[in-house]
Amino acid sequence: MRVRQGLPCLAAAFLACFSTWCAEAQVVRVDPAGPVRSIRAALATARPRTTIIVGAGIYREGRLRIDKSVTLAGEPGAILDGEGQHTVLEIGGDSITVRGLVVRNTGMSQTEDRAGILASGARWCRIEQIRSERNLFGIYLANSADCVIDGNTVIGSGTSQTLQGNGIQVWQSERITVSSNVVTGHRDGIYFEFVTNATVAANESRGNERYGMHFMFSNDCRYERNVFRANGSGVAVMYSHRVAMIANTFERNWGSAAYGLLLKDISDSEIRDNRFLSNSTGLYLEDSNRNQVTGNEFTGNGWALKLLASAQDNRMAHNAFAGNTFDVSTNSRHSFSTFENNYWDRYRGYDLDRNGTGDVPFAPVRLFALIVEQSPASLMMLRSPLVDALDLVERVLPVLTPAEMVDRSPLMRPPVGGASR
Amino acid sequence: MRVAAWPAVGFIVAAMLAACGGGIRPLVAGTDACEYCRMTVSDVRFGAEAVSRTGRVYTFDSIECAASWLASAPQGGAPRGVWVADYSTGALIPADSALFVKDGSLRSPMGRALAAFDGSIGRAALVERYGGDVIGWTDVVAFMRAQGLPGAAARQSAPAAHDTH
């Protein structure tokens, strides 16, 4: 639409620049029908602030590199093909925009990290509305800053093999925005390592081989309103501080090593208003301290929350637990975290003073959860009457379950607004 | 019916215990989880394994994690042995006899750029091919004990852009 409206102006600008010096922004058109037939040729002569429009067609031009401040914009049907041999498009420099292209077919490699689009040493770059298909890595940023990756569709080959790369990978960069992308069929959908002050918002990452998102060594980042669904191992956020995880959905991540959200060595972070639906383990905390876990919904998980003794001073409040096989599991008799004002569908207490919270505390750790933690094979006895009897006795006379791990003010009804905001 | 099932359950449990008595086994990408960092093993070329005194097998996604786990005095005491994957073949080799390339061009899963090789490629050839330093297992463990994984706290901000130019 925009292109069509712009065509007369485009032609005029093209004519003007053809004959004379062009002080203002140029527009160059690349088209298999000519006169400019290759992107490489257009890039070679382009001056800063040129917009290069790429017409429909398949461009096989080797490894293309943009190192000046231009915009490369594809029309529908513009395809850059790596012919199974190499990175398709590389950008490095300030204020480079690529938009509306299909980049595909880097081929696999054991020795180099090939990508559909590789940004290295880029600043103020924008990568928008790209469709990445059958690339080892889809979009890969390294040593870059102040870039935006928005509205892209990144589709891996989806086959189960060691050599699969990540969909959107950001390495050693700062102030990056990754928003409104769809990523599927890669190793990790979104991968961050050594990234600071980044935002990941409104993406959908599903059906990736390992993690929907994988964060390591990345402080002061924020991710919100993303959907992570049916990834091999869920989402892992590790070795980072001050991370805000808000209003995401973690759904249908099944497997012995699968977690809706795995937190390892995460501190001073906020996990708020997320939904954990139908995961083997909804939320897992290990070596993670001083985190606020509030307003989340845990529904239909095997284990809603696994809180290891190495996780300390975390606060769980205003969460809703319903329909989980185990609400809370731990590996210790002691609790170093607090529970308050959560809703538990297993709570059988009463509220005589009608203040909305139960009058007797709720102990969310079943005895059988402790047994399974020690010896996973015992899980096969889950439906046994013996286990029901054990749980009942333990509830009446707690001797093994963590005495301190109780919610003294359990909510009688699910928190209003809570997870649904 | 329910009563008749118990001997079968006992048999299965006994069979599972018996199966745990062996030594190392190949790592399975996408299934095995790291004992230290809990990540699912993805690239077996960087992986490692340890076997405890009681024969329990621990799997690791990276050499960093195996060394950190060993340095953290794991439950059950020192293991019977630690094996690391040879980067070239993925085969598990004893950590004590392996050569480790550190800070070279190979980017390992846990940020310390560590890869292991059996003795078939010499030290000089390894440095020539991958850069970095070649060190032994005791050096790796000592380094991980002292430095740990790249602490997020130690790195307040990423280096400025353009440093690859």
| DSSP for residue A234 | E
How confident is the model at residue A420, as a pLDDT?
42
Pairing verdict, β B114-117 and A227-229: unpaired
In a domain, B157, yes or no: no
Chain A residues whose CB is inside 8 A of the B107 CB are 113
Of B91, B16, B145, nearest to A379 by C-alpha is B16
Residue B79 CA to residue B68 CA, distance in Å, equals 13
Mean pLDDT of all residues in A144-160: 91
How confident is the model at residue A82, as a pLDDT?
95
Which are the contacts of A323, defined by CB distance < 8 A and separation ≥ 6? A299, A300, A345
In a domain, B80, yes or no: yes
User: In the structure, what pLDDT confidence band is assigned to residue A385 with cuts at 50, 70 and 90?
Assistant: confident
**What are B137-155's pLDDT values in tens digits?**
999 999 998 888 886 333 3
Of A205, A192, A181, A275, nearest to A240 by C-alpha is A192
Residue B46 CA to residue B34 CA, distance in Å, equals 12
Q: Can you give the C-alpha Rg of chain B in angstroms?
A: 19
- CA A360 from chain centre, in angstroms, equals 39
Q: Where are the beta strands (DSSP E) in A5-95?
A: 27-30, 51-54, 57-59, 64-66, 71-74, 78-81, 89-94
How confident is the model at residue A10, as a pLDDT?
55
Q: Where are the beta strands (DSSP E) in A153-307?
A: 153-155, 168-174, 177-179, 182-184, 190-196, 199-201, 204-206, 211-216, 222-224, 227-229, 234-241, 244-246, 249-251, 259-267, 270-272, 275-277, 281-286, 292-294, 297-299, 303-307
Q: Which residue has the tokens 């001083």?
A: A290
Residue A221 CA to residue A174 CA, distance in Å, equals 10
By percentage, how much of chain A surpasses pLDDT 90? 71
B31 at the A interface (CB within 8 A)?
Answer: yes
Q: Is the pLDDT of residue A1 over 60?
A: no
In a domain, B164, yes or no: no
| DSSP for residue A102 | E
How confident is the model at residue A390, as a pLDDT?
78
Return the residue in B16, B36, B39 with the most chain A beta carbons within 10 A, the one to mutate for interface testing.
B39
Residue B106 CA to residue A232 CA, distance in Å, equals 25
How confident is the model at residue B7, as a pLDDT?
53
Read off the amino acid at residue A1.
M
Q: Is the pLDDT of residue B13 over 50?
A: no
Residue B38 CA to residue B42 CA, distance in Å, equals 12
Containing structural domain, residue B61: 20-147
Element (H, E) at B59: strand B57-60
Q: Which residue has the tokens 């928005």?
A: A150
The alpha helices in A300-380, defined as continuous H runs, are 367-374
Which B-chain residues 76-135 have CB contacts (< 8 A) with chain A?
107, 110-111
Task: Burial-class residue A228 by CB neighbours within 10 Å (0-12, 13-18, 19+).
Answer: buried
In a domain, B27, yes or no: yes
**Interchain CB distance below 8 Å, B155 and A194:** yes
Taking CA atoms, what residue in B is nearest to A236?
A: B39
**What are B55-76's pLDDT values in tens digits?**
889 999 999 999 999 988 777 7
Residue A409 CA to residue A419 CA, distance in Å, equals 19
Chain A residues whose CB is inside 8 A of the B43 CB are 162
Q: Which long-range contacts (CB under 8 A, 24 or more apart) does A259-262 make?
A: A259/A233, A259/A234, A259/A235, A259/A283, A259/A284, A259/B38, A260/A228, A260/A234, A260/A235, A260/A301, A261/A234, A261/A235, A261/A236, A261/A237, A262/A233, A262/A234, A262/A235, A262/A236, A262/A237, A262/A238, A262/B38
Reading the block at residue A301, the tokens are: 């998980």
**Interchain CB distance below 8 Å, A239 and B149:** yes
Give how many domains chain B has, as a whole number: 1
User: In the structure, what pLDDT confidence band is assigned to residue A173 with cuts at 50, 70 and 90?
Assistant: very high
**Interchain CB distance below 8 Å, B40 and A211:** yes
In a domain, B163, yes or no: no
Q: How much is the pTM?
A: 0.84
In a domain, B50, yes or no: yes
Residue A217 CA to residue B71 CA, distance in Å, equals 21
Q: What is the mean pLDDT of chain A?
A: 89
Torsion-angle region of B68 (φ positive above 0: left; ψ -120 to 50: alpha; else: beta): alpha
In a domain, B128, yes or no: yes
A371 at the B interface (CB within 8 A)?
Answer: no
Of A64, A166, A150, A47, nearest to A113 by C-alpha is A166
Q: What is residue B57's three-state secondary structure?
A: strand
Residue pairs spanning A and B at CB distance below 8 A:
100
Chain A residues whose CB is inside 8 A of the B161 CB are 121-123, 143-146, 173
Of B55 and A69, the structure prediction assigns the larger pLDDT to A69
In a domain, B24, yes or no: yes
Mean pLDDT of all residues in A25-54: 92
**Window from A33-37, A82-86, A191-195, B155-159 with minimum mean pLDDT:** B155-159
